[in-house]
Each structure stands twice: as C-alpha cells, then as structure tokens.
Structure 1
Amino acid sequence: MSLLKNVGTIGGLTLVSRLFGFVRDILLARVLGAGGVGDAWQLAFQLPNIFRRLFAEGAFASAFVPLFNRRMTNGDDISEARLFAEQVLAFLIPILIVFGALALIAMPWIAGLFANEGISSDPKLFDLAVLMARVAFPYLFFMSLATLFAAILNSLSRFAAAAAAPIMLNICLITALLIGMTLGDGMEARRQTGVYLAIAVTISGLLQLLWLAMWSYRSGFRMTLRAPRLTKGVKELGILILPAVFGAGVYQISRFIDLFFLSTLPDGAYTFLAMGDRLNQLPLGIIGIALGTAILPALSRHIANDEGNAASRLQSNAVELAMLLTVPAAVALFVTGSAFTRAFYTGGAYTLADSIATGAVVSALVVGLPAYVLIKVLVPNFFARKDTRTPVFTALASLLLNIGLNFMLVPRLGVVGLALAGSAAAWCNATLLYVLLTRKGYFRIGGQAVSRILRIGIAAALMGAALYFAMPVGSEWYAGNIGQRVGSILALVLTGAAVYFAAAIMLGVVNRATIRQLVNRPG
C-alpha cells in the first residue's frame, strides 16, 4: 500500500474526528465560556490526556511497534508476536491500576500544582476541578490498553480502526454538552455539565478499548490474559520506554510546563490555549500523526530487512508530503486565525473579546506547526532502529529552550508568549533531529527535495499575502449570523486554496509525476 494511501486513510478519519472536535469545542465555548468552570474543565481534562499522550501514544507506541514488527517477520506465523503482545498486556494492566490509584489519591495536590488563581482561590471551583479530574482519570487506563491494540492493528496495516476510535470521545462529549444545554444558563448548570463531561470521557475510553479489541480479534489477532512476568521482551520494552517517554513525548512534557505557567496567568488563559490548540491540532493530527503512524511500521520492516535505501526513500517522501500540506496550513492559520476563532467560538458564554484573544494564540501556535509535524516524521527513524537515546538529547535541548523562553515571554505577552515559546522549542527539536540523522548516516534529504520545499514556501507566502489583503473584506461577518460566518470563512478558504495550488503548479511543486510517485511509493 502506498504511503499516500496509508496517510489518506488515517488522515481522513482523523479529519472526521477533528471536525467532531470542532463541534465539541463550539458547544464548550457557548456552554462553559472562558474562565471559571470552563478553565476548571480544561484543567481536569488536560491531566489524563497529557499522561495518555505522553506514556501511551508517545512512549509506548514508539517503543512497542519496532519490537512487535521484529517478531512479525516470519511470514504468516504470528505466534511469536502474539506471545509478546500478551506478555506486555499482562504487565501493563497492574502498572496502570497502581498508577491510576495513586493519581486519584494525589489528585488534589496535582490539581493544586497547576490551578490558576481563579480556580485555587474559589474552594467550590477547585473541588469541582478535582472531582472532574478524578472521574475522568480512568480514561487513561482504558486508552493505554487501547493503544496496545491500536499499535497491533497499525502493524498489521489495519489503520482505519485505530484512526476512527477517537471519534467516540467527541461523540460522548457532544452528547454530554447537549444534555448540559437543557439544564439552563446558571452556574450550577455549568457545574453539573462539567461532571457530565468527565463521565463522558471515561465512558469514551471504555468504548474505544472495546472497539479496538474487537477489530484486533476480527483481524485474527486473538490474545489471552496471562499472569504478569518480567520476560526478556518486556524488559527490552521497558528499557526503550523510559527514554522514549522523554524523546517522543516532548510535546506533552511541554504541556505540563505550559500548565505550570498558565497557573500564573489571569482567568481564561486555560480556555484560550485549549481553544486555540484545537485549530492547531487539526493539521497536526491529520498530517503529522497520520504520517508518523503510517511510516513507523514500514520503516521498522525496511530496517529489520536491511533495506536502507528503501527506508531512506520512505523518509524523504514523508518529509516532502509533510511540508507540502503543513506549510500552507500554518501560513493560512497565522494570517486568518482570528477570523476562524471569531466564526467558530463567538456566542453564548464566549465573548468576541475571548475569540480575538484565542485568535492571537492560534497565530503563535502555528508558527511551530511544520516543526511539530517534522518531529512526528523524523522521530520514527530513530525508534525503528531502537535508538531512543538520541531523541532524548534533542528533546532535552528544546525543553530547556522552552522553559527559558517561557520565563522571558510569558510575563510580557501572557498566553501568546507561552505559545510562541513552544513553537520556537519545536523548531529547535526538529532541527537537531535532522542534523543528528544526517550525522549518524540514517537519512539525508536530497537536493531535489530541498528545492521542492523552498518552492512550497514561496507558494505558501503568496497565499499568505493574498489572505492578508482578503481578511479585512469580511471582518464584519466573522461573528455575524450563521450564513455570514459560513460564507466569510468559506471565501477565505477558497481564496487561499486557489492561490496556493495555482502557485504550486506554476512553480512545479505539484505535478503528475509527484502525485504518481506518492501514490505508487510502497509504505
């Protein structure tokens, strides 16, 4: 199957999930607003999600997939791979139970560490944040187990089931918000809605686990529960996971740091960052996560079979495709971020001022969007070789830069400074990853690819200029009635797309040969 087809499968289903996520956040903005219960919910929701992305989707998947694929090289015989997965599952369950129990006990302290003054100074609001975090935290247990099944399915090239699973989270949260809207507009109604949202998070985790386990079973990979044993394979996985927690999870570690600095900012900062990140996560999820997920199993197989040239071609293809899609998305959102936030979020408890503040955060976040995607694309090259140490050093350097910039920028620019610091740190990480890949002889991008990426940048710049002049035309419509909002945003999207693709064709970025190469390239 081609890289483009794999990315299209994952990215298409991720797009559906992100669109449901937009609906969820639009409802969240209108029902909970910015600050108060809205900030308390964002804090409670962040805690299990950061742990999930850091340990489950980040470290665990990156370490498990190469070891699993190494045991899948014996033709149709999957017995060794199944035994390894069963041993990992048996060891994973008690660890998650113990960790979850400790986290529930310590939740008041954890929430207190990251709560801003608006939350910590209101005992009722703080207690609500702790309650919501406790109710939502079992989501981490379910999703960590679900990640095991997702990694198995991806290694079997069954990408659709895993990519579709997150849709359930957004459906459950939308359902809770719709129920909450029937409770009225008062503070007590918002508090009750927050509890419903926390319950919905945990239910969605269970549903995703059952969904992925079912598809694993239907794919012929049927596991049985075993008594936990510290086998050689489990030890090897543990050794890889420890540095991978840092190497693959730098973005999530940065989110913990963000929470700390957010606690020093005024009411509403949690919500502004969360709502802004939704727009940033749309291209990051569709492009970055899809590419990273699609190439890791293929890279692992090429490297295990000593196919260095094939691995290098696959990596180059992924970088080009990432830049082709990500650079214009970043430029467009940088220029038009406030238009999108005004159109999507303004209404109900979310004021126009809240939307404009969120738009500024979006513009700062997307400065680092191409870098975040490059990290997703480059890190699998190290993990496919069981090299988890190198990403640790690059992550440490970028993390230290992020902390230093936060101290410099947050007091001056507030939440916008926080977003800019994260973007700069991402570029530091991506640059170091590529430099070390070339020095180790793992990958070097060719001159033709560099030329194409430069032309992508020129095409995106031309699109950005067109959008800059088009933005003021519909400024009165961005927060108008539904028809005005849809029409004005659609006009911006069509303008940007038309200019970018016209420029890309004229500059030779996109042509039939490129598309044919991407479609036919094996992944």
Structure 2
Amino acid sequence: MFRAFLTVGGWTMASRVLGLVRDQLLAILIGVGAMQDAYQVAFRLPNMFRRLFGEGAFNAAFVPMFSSILHRDGLPTAQRFANEALGVLSFWLLALTVLGEVFMPQVVWVIGSGFARRPEVFDLAVTLSRITFPYMLLICAAALVSGVLNGLDRYAAAAAAYVLFNVVGIAAILWLTPHVPSVAHAAAWGVTISGVVQLGALLWAARRAGLHFSLPRPRMTPEMRVLMRRIAPGLVGSGVTQLNLVVDTIVATWMPAGSVSLIYFADRVNQLPLGVLGAAAGTSMLPLLSRQIQAGEIDAAHRTQGRAIEYALVLTLPAALALIALAAPIMATLFGYGKFTTLDAVLSAQSLCAYAVGLPFFVLVKVLGPGFFARGDTATPVRLGMITLALNFALNLALYRPLAHVGPPLASSLASMINVLLLAGTLGRRGQLRADRALISRLARMALAAMVMTAVLVAAQHGPLAHVEAQRPLRRAVELGLLIVVGMGVYGGMLHALGVVSAAEAWRGLSGRLRRRRAS
C-alpha cells in the first residue's frame, strides 16, 4: 500500500503544483473581483464532480465491486461489468448534461444565488458554466476507466491523468485568450478540452494494459442496480468536504464582490496537501482494504486502516500548522502579482488559516470513508454526511456576517471535525477501527514534533528570516523557501529524535524504491 500511496501522491503533487501555476495566471490576469467570482462559480460545479467522482463516490462504489468480481470471476467478467457500468453512466450523465445546458440559469442560481443582485455577473457565470459543464460527462467516464486501472493495481496512469487537466488549462489561458472575449472564457474552454484529453489518455493506458472498453446499450442488470444504489448515497458520504465547499461558495456570493475569489485562492493552497494526501490515502487504501475484507483477513484490514491514518497524519499535521504560521508569505509569494494586490493576499491568507485548522480532519474523512465503502456500506456515511452538511450550513449562516471571508472556511473546518468524530466513533463501535496504544503514541509524538516545528517557524519570521518587503518578489520567494526548508528539517529531526521515523530506515526505503524504478 505504501508504494501505491507514494505513486498516487507523487502524481497528485505534480498536478497540484501545475494547478498552482494555473491559478497564478488567473490571479495575475484577472485579479480579485466580479469576473473572477463568476469564473470560480462556473468552475466550482464541474470541479466538484471531478472530485466527487474521480476521488470520491464513484471510486468508493465501483472499485470494491470491480475488485470483488475480478477476484471471484476473473478479468473477462470484470471487464464486462466495467463496460456495462460505462454504458449506464454515460447514458444518465449525457441526459443530465443536456438538462444542465438548457436550465443553466437555474443551476447557477442554486450555486451562486447571491449573483442575482448583480445581473452582469450572473449572466457571465451562466455563459461560463455552459462552457464548462460538459466536463462533468467526460471526467465521470474517465473516473470509471481510472477505477478499473486502480482495481488492477495500476495507479500511475490514473493519477497522472489529472496532470493533464492543469497542463491543458495553462495552455488555454496562454494561447486561447486572444481569440475569445476574456481570460475567463479561455480558462472555461480549457476545462472542457482537458476532459477530452484526460479521457483519451486513460483509454490509451487501458488499451496498453490489455483492456478494451466499449459503450454497450445501457441495461440495469442486477450488478448495475447495486452499483447505482451505492453511488447515490456515496455522493454525499464520500463528498462531504466538496459539498461543504459548495455551501461556502453559495454563502460567499452574498458577500461583497471578490469574496468568492478570496476563498477560492485560499482553498487552492489548502487543497495542495489535502488533495495529495487525502486522494493518495483513499485511492491506494480502498482496493487493498476491499480485498482483505473479501478474504476474511480482518486483522490485516485493521493494520491497513491504522497505517493509512499514520501515513496521512505524519505529513498533514505539519502541513496544517505550517500553513497557519506561513499563511501571509505563502499567499503573497504565490499570487501577489499583477492584478492580485497585497491587500488581496492578506485577506486570502486569513481564509487560508481558517481552512488549515480543519486540514487534518479533511484528510481523515477520506481515510475513514473506505472503512465503510470496502464493506459495501454507503448508507452510514451518507447519514453522517447529511448531519455534517446541515451543521456546515448553520455555521456558515452564523459566521459569514461577523467574520466575512473567514466565516465560510472556518465553518467547513468545524463541520469536518464533527464528521471525523462521527465516522471514527461509528467504526469504533462496530469493532472496525482499532486505535491501539502504539498508534496513539505515534500520533501524539507526531503532534509534538509538528508543534515544535511551528514554534520555530513563528520565531524565524521575527528573527533572521523576518520577511522582506512585498515589493521584492524574488527575495520573498527565497525567504519562504528557506522557511519551508527550516520547517522540514526541524520536523524531520523531531520525528527521528522521538522515535517516530528512523532516518536510516527512511533512506533505505527511498533508495530501494529508486533502484526498483531504475530496474523497471
């Protein structure tokens, strides 16, 4: 599982880094304001489907079923099941895409109701949403092919496909802008074009693996009925984080112009560790956990869940505290150019701190979810998810006026904490999650190491590494890089000193992996 974790995490990291480049272009060329707000609402809908299906509900429902059929009946039967799923999914999503295009004003009103007060922004959001909406169909088909590849333990191609999303998006912003009305239009077209490229790349990878997809007439076979029943509740159960972000966006449209953009850029930085660690842990863990449960290896399943929690938190805890300690220099260094002002960076940094508070809990939701999905239980996460969604909405309404752009991110973080407590408590009561003394001890030592690192980072910003003036972007970037290196060094040293990770063992593992890569 650790090898798969690193593979998915590595490609996801590449995708997130390129995503930051794409967002930097949007910040420089558009800045914070009405056009950026309209584009972000148009981008939110297909991006939500990408995360729900590519990293959430579809994966959670399809992969365990595909793995079970593959283990029980062999590859030809599993391939037939995948083709049937593709036929049914494509039929329903095509119908939904057509309806969405026709009724897009109503769709935009749901996810951006506050724009109704500003007709020009609302109309732009509708136009951009009609451009981006077909991406939903394309990425859901791509998610199915990715699920098949993951079920066959071929994680690299599926994870690498998401890199193409940002590569195409960057190219569209740079080269398509002169030929369309605005940068926002170019970025919107880049979203849909990237869906075509991703699906094509995954089908090519599947063909190289000996798989041949077809699009049969949609039929609701018994297997399809089971799959659909598991997907429907899983859309909420595994996608609570994304649905909470949609709630944040809805509330932000009722706030002053630019609020959607401030929250979006903060979320993008928060998504770097969240997407890398959460997606890697959930994606690599689910097929293995499903096979262990199918084979009756209960003790092995408990160990897998425990290791996944450790792998996620050993990096998530320091990431969350570092984002809080370095929020202002991070936002200024990444986005503080062009039309994105210094004040915009400071305000967005405040939103980032609120998101970072909940970062470990956002990741744990993705780690605990497979504990239900691998056992075929999607009903429990959806019940708990509905509680979390209601709580998030209530917190948003309570916080957005007194805290402005900090309110929605903080509401999501608080709701995510409750979601983790509910998920972990339910698994624990069922005897499906064991937090033994060794796991608790290691987590406590990780937390101590992360707190020491944070203290050093805060002190460094007021000492020899105190940040330089905002007008010197190169020096600002060098300073931030030094702070990150110092933080990593302190955290790694503390992990070694506290006996959490042995430097020698970590080096042997990394060098062994590099040797295997070169040999292959």
Q: TM-score range, shorter-chain basis?
A: over 0.9
Matched, 1:368 2:351: no
Matched, 1:123 2:119: yes
Q: Which residue of 2 aligns with 1:425?
A: 415
Q: How far off is 1:47 after superposition?
A: 1.5
Residue pair 2:55, 2:279 contacting (<8 A) in 1 also? no
Partner Cα distance (1:514, 1:411) in 2: 51
Residue pair 1:114, 1:262 contacting (<8 A) in 2 also? no
Alignment-mate amino acid for residue 434 of structure 1: A
TM-score by length of 2: 0.94
Residue pair 1:317, 1:518 contacting (<8 A) in 2 also? no
Partner Cα distance (2:193, 2:45) in 1: 16
Find the partner of 1:226 among 216, 233, 256: 216
C-alpha distance after superposition, 1:372-392 (max 9, x if no partner): 111111110110000112212
Partner Cα distance (2:469, 2:168) in 1: 29
Q: How far off is 1:477 after superposition?
A: 2.6
Q: How does 1:116-515 map to 2 (within 5 A)?
A: 119-179=115-175, 191-473=181-463, 474=465, 476-477=467-468, 479-511=470-502, 515=506
Partner Cα distance (1:481, 1:166) in 2: 33
Partner Cα distance (1:503, 1:476) in 2: 25
Partner Cα distance (2:507, 2:285) in 1: 18
Q: Which residue of 2 aligns with 1:32?
A: 30
Partner Cα distance (1:470, 1:257) in 2: 37
Q: How far off is 1:352 after superposition?
A: 0.3
Cα distance change of structure 1 residues 411 and 36 upon mapping to structure 2, 3 Å threshold = same
Mark the runs of 5 or more structure 1 residues left unpaired by the alignment.
Answer: 184-188
Q: How far off is 1:434 after superposition?
A: 1.0
Alignment-mate amino acid for residue 441 of structure 1: G
Q: How far off is 1:60 after superposition?
A: 1.4
Q: How far off is 1:516 after superposition?
A: 9.5
Alignment-mate amino acid for residue 49 of structure 2: F
Partner Cα distance (1:432, 1:50) in 2: 23
Alignment-mate amino acid for residue 190 of structure 2: A
Alignment-mate amino acid for residue 4 of structure 1: F
Residue pair 1:61, 1:151 contacting (<8 A) in 2 also? yes
CA RMSD of aligned residues (A): 2.1
Partner Cα distance (1:6, 1:422) in 2: 29
Partner Cα distance (1:54, 1:210) in 2: 20
Mark the runs of 5 or more structure 2 residues left unpaired by the alignment.
Answer: 513-520
Q: Which residue of 2 aligns with 1:186?
A: none
Q: Which residue of 1 aligns with 2:516?
A: none
Q: How far off is 1:180 after superposition?
A: 6.3
Partner Cα distance (1:292, 1:25) in 2: 25
TM-score by length of 1: 0.94
Q: How far off is 1:512 after superposition?
A: 5.8
Partner Cα distance (1:5, 1:261) in 2: 40
Alignment-mate amino acid for residue 161 of structure 2: A
Cα distance change of structure 1 residues 116 and 389 upon mapping to structure 2, 3 Å threshold = closer
Give percent identity, aligned residues only. Answer: 38
Residue pair 2:358, 2:414 contacting (<8 A) in 1 also? yes
C-alpha distance after superposition, 1:227-278 (max 9, x if no partner): 1111000001011112111111111221221122112211111111110011
Q: Which residue of 2 aligns with 1:11?
A: 9
Alignment-mate amino acid for residue 504 of structure 1: L
Cα distance change of structure 1 residues 513 and 441 upon mapping to structure 2, 3 Å threshold = farther
C-alpha distance after superposition, 1:430-467 (max 9, x if no partner): 11111111111112121011001001111101111111
Residue pair 1:116, 1:267 contacting (<8 A) in 2 also? no
Partner Cα distance (2:469, 2:273) in 1: 21
Find the partner of 1:105 among 102, 107, 111: 102
Partner Cα distance (1:256, 1:315) in 2: 29
Partner Cα distance (1:461, 1:414) in 2: 29
Partner Cα distance (1:12, 1:309) in 2: 29
